[in-house]
Amino acid sequence: MSTPPRTLFEKIWQRHVVADEAEHPTVLYVDLHLVHEVTSPQAFAGLAARGLGVRRPDKTFATMDHSTPTLPRHLARVDAAAEAQLAELERNCAKHAIPLFGLDHEHHGIVHVIGPELGLTQPGRTIVCGDSHTSTHGAFGALAFGIGTSEVEHVLATQCLLQHKARTLEVRVDGALGRGVTAKDVILAVIARIGTGGGAGHVIEYTGSAIGALDMEARMTVCNMSIEAGARAGLVAPDDTTFAWLDGRPYAPRGAAWDRAVCAWRALATDEGATYDRSVTFDAAEIAPMITWGTHPGMGMRIDGRVPSAESVDDPADRRAIEKALAYMGLAPGEPIVGQRVDVVFVGSCTNSRMSDLRAAASILRGRRVAEGVRALIVPGSRRVRLEAEREGLDRVFREAGAEWREPGCSMCIAMNGDEIAPGQYAVSTSNRNFEGRQGKGGRTLLASPLTAAAAAVTGRVTDPRSLLAS
């Protein structure tokens, strides 16, 4: 009997089913559990209250990223509450023998940056973290999704999760991306089309020639924002690009084990003839640099377009949403977005803080100055990224342009550590959420690619990055 053709998702799912009893959710095994300081203390406290231990500390890794300072360590302290949270994670990791990549560790960084760069993130694995952007790791063909703190406790105790099987959504992007158009623009275009709830109940698999042509860091940018379309996870089938990127990473298999692993990983790709529950397709050539104008990531537009008006849509609820968002953002309907004043530029976050992102920003900032009155913050995703950027001299490019070059962390993506924008200010940010107040109470966020963010830094205005690219 031949097995029916299966999708990548189906293959990973089936392999990890521990139990599937009638009238119960499926019990799914977790290969890798990543932990950070903000969503774990209550889970560890729950374990202690029940007298339980951590089942597999060898499959659990912790870092500190959300409420950590990005100024040099000896100068920086966020506040007493943040310090207490960090101390709590240190205590919990020591008690349960969980490896912790603390602030001074060579592996320190944002949880979704360090998992891949250490080779912990591998094709075919199930990966969870108490953080919605765990979808990032799907770029390697791993089934990776965010969970709440109760579920963090479940995984610590049992290495398993109760799950209902998601449906599959194929997002197919064919063709070649234009000059100045990046992975960030692709995913913002996808979310603008399918909406912030468009992927609910689904796992997305990104397919098509434009996705296959992306490097690993770009694939991570795409998968990272799957959650902003409401999807639990995003996946890209592992291929030679994936294997080349992983080879030699600290936790990647070596020697004969590497060869066996690659052989198994090659078999993960969706079979010919397998079907998805839904599919949507995009023409890469039609995607322009994107920027958001509103208060959720689905409110995105071409940078050369005009801010939408409430009259442009029929649904009364959508109309109210546009009016509410424009009022918060202080933007006028029907106006071009190019030329909008910018106060702050943030290049960083688990979406866009890797080497290729910093190189893109530097390509625009090199030999130019950050505009008068604009504050530009460049925050690498990890210590490794920071060191590599410094070896390449990117830190000098940023400093000479007048930008701030920081220690790694989430920083202004979530504004828990003192890096924040003031009420009413406009920030062009490479992060993933433009919700009201996300980057500081009353602050206004426009999400864009590192190229677009850097272009805004040098002009002090929203600017089409294509106008500044070397030809």
Partner 1 sequence: MQPFTRLTSRVAVLPVDDVDTDQVIPARFLKITDKVGLGDKLFADWRRAPSGDDPGFVLDRPETRGARVLFVGRNFGCGSSREHAPWALCGWGFAAVVATSFADIFRTNALKNGLLPVALDEVAHAHLRALLDADPRAEVTVDLEACVLRMPDGREASFPIDGFARRCLLAGIDELGYLSSLDKDISRWEAEHG
Amino acid occupying residue 66:
H
- Percent helix, strand and coil across the chain, each to the nearest 5: 40, 15, 45
Residue type, 22: A
Partner from partner 1, ligand SF4, none binding residue 214, C-beta < 5-8 Å depending on class: none
Residue 3 structure tokens: 């097995």
Residue position matching structure tokens 């031949």? 2
Q: How far is CA 148 from CA 20, 114, 358, 406, in A?
A: 22, 21, 31, 29
Q: In what order do the strands lie in the sheet with 404-405?
A: 404-405, 375-378, 344-347, 426-429, 444-447
Q: Considering only residues 153, 205, 217, 407, which one is a binding residue for partner 1 as defined by CB under 8 A?
A: 153
Minimal distance in Å, beta carbon 253 to ligand SF4? 27
Told to check if 257 binds partner 1 by CB under 8 A, we report no
Taking the complex as a whole, how short is the minimal distance between the CB of residue 81 and partner 1, in angstroms?
A: 4
Member of 6, 10, 41, 363 binding partner 1 (CB under 8 A)? 41
Residue 324 contacts partner 1 per CB under 8 A: yes
- The letter for the amino acid at 91 is R
Closest distance between partner 1 and the C-beta of residue 60, in Å?
A: 14
Q: Name which of ligand SF4, partner 1, none residue 349 binds, using a CB cut-off of 5 to 8 Å depending on partner kind.
A: ligand SF4
What's the CA gap between 128 and 140, in Å, rounded? 14
Q: Tally Cβ neighbours within 10 Å of residue 404.
A: 15
Q: Measured from the CB of residue 392, what is the shortest distance to ligand SF4 in angstroms?
A: 22
Which token pair is 34?
A: 């990543």
Site for partner 1 contains 261 (CB under 8 A): no
Cβ-contact 338, 428 below 8 angstroms: no
Q: How far is the CB of 219 from partner 1 (least distance, A)?
A: 22
Binding partner of residue 168 among ligand SF4, partner 1, none, CB under 5 to 8 Å per kind?
A: none
Establish if 14 lies at the interface with partner 1 (CB under 8 A).
no
Q: 95-124: which residues touch partner 1 (CB under 8 A)? A: none
415 binds partner 1 (CB under 8 A): yes
Nearer to ligand SF4, 152 or 414 (CB): 414
Nearest to 381 by CA among 86, 112, 104: 112
CB of 275 to ligand SF4, least distance (A): 32
Nearer Cβ to partner 1, position 294 or 465?
Answer: 294
CA distance 447 to 429: 5
Q: Which is nearer to ligand SF4, 270 or 434 (CB)?
A: 434
Give least dist CB 3 to partner 1, A: 19
Judged by beta carbon distances under 5 to 8 A according to partner kind, the member of partner 1, ligand SF4, none in contact with residue 350 is: ligand SF4
Radius of gyration of the chain (CA): 22
Enumerate residues 6+ apart whose C-beta is below 8 A from 258: 247, 252
Q: Which of 130, 180, 289, 381 binds partner 1 (CB under 8 A)?
A: 130
Per partner kind, with CB cut-offs from 5 to 8 A, the member of partner 1, ligand SF4, none near residue 54 is none
Q: CB–CB of 386/380 below 8 Å?
A: yes
CA distances from 195 to 288, 318, 398, 460 (A): 18, 11, 35, 30
Element holding 396 (H helix, E strand)? helix 394-401
Q: Binds 159, which of ligand SF4, partner 1, none (CB < 5 to 8 A, cut-off by type)?
A: partner 1
Asked if 190 interacts with partner 1 (CB under 8 A), we say no
Answer for which of 82, 98, 370, 448 binds partner 1 (CB under 8 A) is: 82
- Which of 12, 35, 38, 342 is the binder for partner 1 (CB under 8 A)? 38
For 387, what's the count of Cα atoms within 13 Å in the CB-facing half-sphere? 8
Asked if 135 and 89 touch (Cβ cutoff 8 Å), the reply is no
H or E segment and range at residue 355: helix 355-365
Among 97, 162, 313, 469, binds partner 1 (CB under 8 A): 162
Nearer to ligand SF4, 226 or 431 (CB): 431
Q: What pairs with residue 301 in β-bridges?
A: 291
Q: Does 425 bind partner 1 (CB under 8 A)?
A: no
Shortest distance (Å) from residue 157 CB to partner 1: 6
Interface positions with ligand SF4 (CB under 6 A): 65-66, 110-112, 131, 133, 349-350, 410, 413-414, 431-432
- Residue 414 CA to residue 36 CA, distance in Å, equals 14
437 contact choice in ligand SF4, partner 1, none (CB below 5 to 8 Å, kind-dependent)? partner 1
151 or 395: CB nearest partner 1: 151
**Cα 111 from Cα 133, distance rounded (Å):** 9
Q: Closest Cα to residue 33, out of 64, 61, 66, 65?
A: 61
Decide: 109 and 36 in contact? Cβ < 8 Å: no
Residues contributing to the site for partner 1 (CB under 8 A): 15, 18-19, 23-25, 27, 29, 38-39, 41-42, 45, 50, 52, 55, 66-67, 79, 81-82, 84-85, 88, 130-132, 146-151, 153-154, 157-160, 162, 164, 196-197, 200-201, 227-228, 230, 232, 296, 298, 317, 321, 324, 414-416, 433, 435-438, 441
